[in-house]
Amino acid sequence: MRAYCKLCIAVTAVFVLLAVVLNIYMIRTKDVTGGIHRVEAKRLADEIAETGSYDLTKYPHITGVFSDDDIYSSNEPYVIIEINGTLYRVEYKANGDNNIVVVNCAFGAIFLLMIVLLLYIRQHIIVPFGRLNTVPQELARGNLSVEIPEEKSRFFGKFTWGVNLLREKIEDDRQRELSTQREKKLLLLSLSHDIKTPLSAIKLNAKALEKGIYKDTEKQREVAQNINKRADEIEQFVSEITKAASKDFMTFEVTQGEVFLSQVITKISARYVPQLETCGTEFSVQKFNDCILFCDPDRLGECLQNLMENAIKYGDGKRIEIGFDRMDGCQLITVCNTGCTLEEKELPQIFESFHRGNNANKVQGNGLGLFICKRLMSLMGGEVYAEIQGDRFCVTLIVRLA
């Protein structure tokens, strides 16, 4: 707010200074303009002296000529000239004063308009923005209960609504994460406790065998079978622990809707064309017949972004292409990149979480991009698959048509 006040003061000072300089200039040039009147009066005097008459149409700045015998009652500025012994009053238009008044009125009107504009900007932009200035910092600190004032301004109304949605989404995600972590901890504690029972039985039977308590061969075989059975129980518990640790570590929300294919591709092109041009990568989008897709537009865009990011990271940077096909009431969108070094045998695993192929050794990543694509496409009623075509790696999204 202080910076804006300083800006207003600076703008006002510059405007006033400009007005003062212009007024000084016009006052100084007023006398120069008056010289035109005197020149025309001299020409008029010469014409009267030579012909005894005159034509005022030749002199645009002169409004009237009166001799000393004429009666006149005018307030116009004038000059007195002598022609053949007779004094004449030559009146002229004094445009200088009028120009100054007109210019100052115009400057005043512009100044008032500027003041109104600055006040409008302050009231509808600066002040609302000032109320939101600390909100991002509070959200970054984890203070999700920070008050976000509602703004009806057309400039910030949608922004505050979006920030409130973001805050609520973060809060929901936090609560969901806490709930999930609590459930997993309880499950792990329960399974850990359940493991103790078969583990104790195994230790007891093992000690009995070690000390030779069971002399009968059949009894020894029965104890060994019991140990094996308890070991199977432990293996089952471990399997459940592993499954619980990896199950639903990410949650996804999908809102089904309809969107034109051209809208999705236009957004992707606008996002990546400048980046790929800078990198020198040839980017091609094949021709397609526009259609309406039944999906979550934002999630479909997220899937395409993941595929484009993978093509940029794991390709050789020569060419990336988006192709299209239609089959069985579905639209196929394929992203291909050159420079594929992935082996065919790894294709079944690339959609698993945290899996990274042998071509990812020197590339940073977490192995979640294709996993997220598969989960999202499944939730939208679609599918995704990958294939290797020579030196090209291609991933295809299958989206239902509306």
pLDDT of res. 24: 79
pLDDT-based confidence at residue 250 (cuts at 50, 70, 90): low
Between residues 364 and 215, the one the model is more confident about = 215
Whether 295 has a pLDDT exceeding 80, the answer reads yes
Over residues 295-311, the mean pLDDT reads 92
E strand or H helix at 220: helix 217-246
E strand segments, 183-281: 257-260
Are 314 and 359 within 8 A, CB to CB? yes
Tokens 């400048």 map to which residue?
A: 274
pLDDT of res. 146: 66
Whether 254 has a pLDDT exceeding 80, the answer reads yes
Average pLDDT, the chain: 80
**DSSP-assigned letter for residue 122:** I
pLDDT of res. 148: 67
Q: Over pLDDT 90: what percentage of the chain? A: 22
Please report the sign of the dihedral spanned by the C-alpha atoms of residue 224, residue 227, residue 231, residue 232. positive
pLDDT of res. 226: 83
Q: Tell me: the pLDDT tens digits for 100-158? A: 777 778 878 888 888 888 888 887 777 777 777 777 777 777 666 666 666 666 666 67
pLDDT of res. 73: 56
Between residues 269 and 95, the one the model is more confident about = 269
**DSSP-assigned letter for residue 133:** T
Over residues 336-360, the mean pLDDT reads 81
DSSP symbols for 318-342: SEEEEEEEEETTEEEEEEEEE----
Over residues 259-284, the mean pLDDT reads 91
Whether 247 has a pLDDT exceeding 80, the answer reads no
Q: Tell me: the pLDDT tens digits for 208-244? A: 877 888 777 888 788 888 888 888 888 877 777 766 6
Please report the sign of the dihedral spanned by the C-alpha atoms of residue 183, residue 186, residue 192, residue 198. negative
pLDDT of res. 29: 61
